[in-house]
């Protein structure tokens, strides 16, 4: 019986992280929740008032904007996979993309892993290999990172950052984007195929346009909900909250990322109101995501029943008289 080769320290650390991801997420989520409860305890009446001040129709519009953002980002993913040689039908890919909602509630990276696994499980023969699918995320992330870097000046005031930090961020993202472009031109590796969408100006422009739709929908949602609870937020404030939410969602803090981000950026304008806005961001985002996932489940069920009817009809026509 052969012994397994000893694993290196990075491999052991990754194995520990995978085994303890869920407990770590639960623990961090509890810490963030407790911290918010402590901060809001003396202002609980203000928090309740702010939370109930948003009209239902506005919450519905916010959930709809979340669906628009999810659809735009799913279409961007479809473009990158199509450029990489995948021939997955759009509706099949969108159904797989809806799985990101369930995993993304816990952690942003887990959401990406969930939709890649769903796509490979549903369409293994027409979707690229896992390394290609992972690389297909990079062009989308690069556009989002570039937009965040260009608007990172909105964080200077709320977080007290030095004025030159956004310039450094733009330079770093520019270098990374140039590196992705260089790798997209490389050949011979399965991984680089996921970057092929940036080879052509047309493909890259469509990708940027789709990501912009998703980002603007999120900014509009932030601005609407902040004003709904009584926070006099500017467009730049809404952008700063989006950057903070996107950053914190990569950490294992679970659903508390929205409230934590809003308080971090706009807590000076009132912790109760900003926390209420952050909670509404999380709730409407979850509702919009669940609507997307519900469509995916219903569509899968409808397609399954349709295929079953076709098989029964085919068996009936082949049956001898």
pLDDT band at 65 (very low <50, low <70, confident <90, very high): very high
pLDDT of residue 9: 44
pLDDT at 291: 93
Which pLDDT does position 313 carry in this prediction?
A: 78
Q: Which of 144, 239, 156, 136 is nearest to 197 (CA)?
A: 136
> What band does 1 get if pLDDT is binned at 50, 70 and 90?
very low
Question: In this predicted structure, what is the pLDDT of residue 98?
Answer: 86
- The answer to whether the beta carbons of residues 93 and 81 sit under 8 Å apart is yes
Is the pLDDT at 206 greater than 70, yes or no?
yes
Region 125-139: what's the mean pLDDT? 82
| Helix ranges restricted to H, 123-231 | 130-135, 137-150, 156-159, 165-184, 201-228
Q: When comparing pLDDT for 256 and 282, which is higher?
A: 282
The ranges assigned to domains in the chain are 48-302
Q: Tell me the helix, strand and coil percentages in the chain, rounded to 5.
A: 80, 0, 20
Instruction: Report the C-alpha gap between 68 and 250 in whole angstroms.
Output: 21
Rounded Cα–Cα distance for residues 212 and 216 (Å): 6
Given this model, what pLDDT does residue 175 score? 87
Read off the pLDDT of residues 99-113 as tens digits, 9 standing for 90 and up.
887 666 666 667 788
Asked if residue 62 lies in contact with residue 229, where contact means CB atoms within 8 angstroms, the answer is: no
Q: In angstroms, rounded to a whole number, what is the distance separating the alpha carbons of residues 313 and 303?
A: 15
**71/76 Cα distance (integer angstroms):** 9
**Mind listing the pLDDT tens digit for each residue in 12-41?**
444 544 555 667 666 666 776 677 777 777
What is each CA distance from 302 to 119, 157, 299, in whole angstroms?
A: 18, 51, 5
DSSP state letter for 7: P
pLDDT of residue 108: 64
Q: Mean pLDDT over all residues of the chain?
A: 81
| Dist CA 314 CA 139 (whole Å) | 44
77, 143, 149, 211 from 173: Cα distances, Å: 20, 9, 7, 16
Q: How far, in Å, CA of 152 to CA of 146, rounded?
A: 10
pTM value is 0.84
């Amino acid at each position: 019986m052969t012994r397994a080769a000893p694993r290196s320290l990075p491999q052991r650390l990754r194995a520990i992280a995978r085994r303890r991801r869920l407990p770590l997420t639960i623990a961090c989520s509890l810490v963030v929740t407790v911290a918010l409860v402590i901060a809001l305890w003396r202002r609980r009446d203000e928090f309740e008032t702010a939370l109930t001040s948003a009209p239902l129709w506005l919450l519905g519009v916010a959930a709809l904007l979340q669906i628009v953002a999810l659809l735009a980002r799913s279409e961007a993913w479809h473009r990158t996979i199509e450029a990489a040689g995948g021939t997955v039908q759009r509706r099949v890919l969108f159904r797989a993309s809806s799985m990101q909602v369930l995993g993304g509630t816990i952690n942003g990276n887990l959401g990406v892993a969930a939709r890649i696994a769903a796509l490979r499980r549903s369409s293994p023969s027409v979707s690229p290999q896992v390394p290609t699918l992972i690389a297909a995320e990079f062009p989308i992330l690069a556009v989002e990172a570039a937009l965040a870097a260009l608007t990172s000046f909105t964080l200077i005031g709320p977080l007290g950052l030095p004025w030159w930090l956004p310039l450094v961020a733009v330079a770093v993202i520019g270098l990374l984007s140039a590196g992705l472009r260089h790798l997209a031109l490389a050949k011979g590796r399965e991984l680089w195929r996921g970057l092929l969408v940036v080879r052509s100006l047309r493909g890259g422009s469509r990708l940027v346009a789709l990501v912009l739709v998703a980002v603007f929908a999120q900014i509009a949602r932030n601005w609407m909900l902040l004003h709904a609870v009584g926070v006099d937020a500017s467009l730049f404030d809404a952008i700063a909250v989006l950057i903070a939410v996107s950053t914190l969602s990569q950490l294992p803090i679970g659903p508390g990322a929205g409230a934590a981000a809003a308080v971090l950026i706009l807590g000076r304008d009132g912790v109760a109101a900003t926390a209420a806005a952050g909670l509404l961001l999380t709730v409407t985002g979850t509702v919009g995501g669940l609507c997307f996932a519900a469509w995916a489940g219903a569509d899968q069920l409808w397609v399954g029943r349709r295929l079953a009817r076709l098989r029964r009809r085919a068996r009936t026509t082949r049956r001898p008289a």
